Amino acid sequence: MLPLLYCVHRMFISQTEGELKVTQVLRENFPRATAIKVTDISGGCGAMYEIKIESEEFKEKRTVQQHQMVNQAGFELLSSSDPPASASQCWEYRH
Check if the beta carbon of residue 41 is closer than 8 Å to that of residue 18. Answer: no
Higher pLDDT, 3 or 45: 45
Residue type at 57 in one-letter notation: E
Q: List own/partner pairs for 49-53 with CB under 8 A and 24 or more apart.
A: 49/18, 49/19, 49/22, 51/22, 51/26, 53/26
Reduced to 3 states (helix: H, G, I; strand: E, B; else coil), residue 79 is: helix
pLDDT tens digits for 23-61? 999 999 999 999 999 999 988 778 888 999 999 999 999
pTM of the predicted model as reported, rounded to 2 decimal places? 0.68
Q: Is the dihedral of CA 43, 3, 5, 91 positive or negative?
A: negative
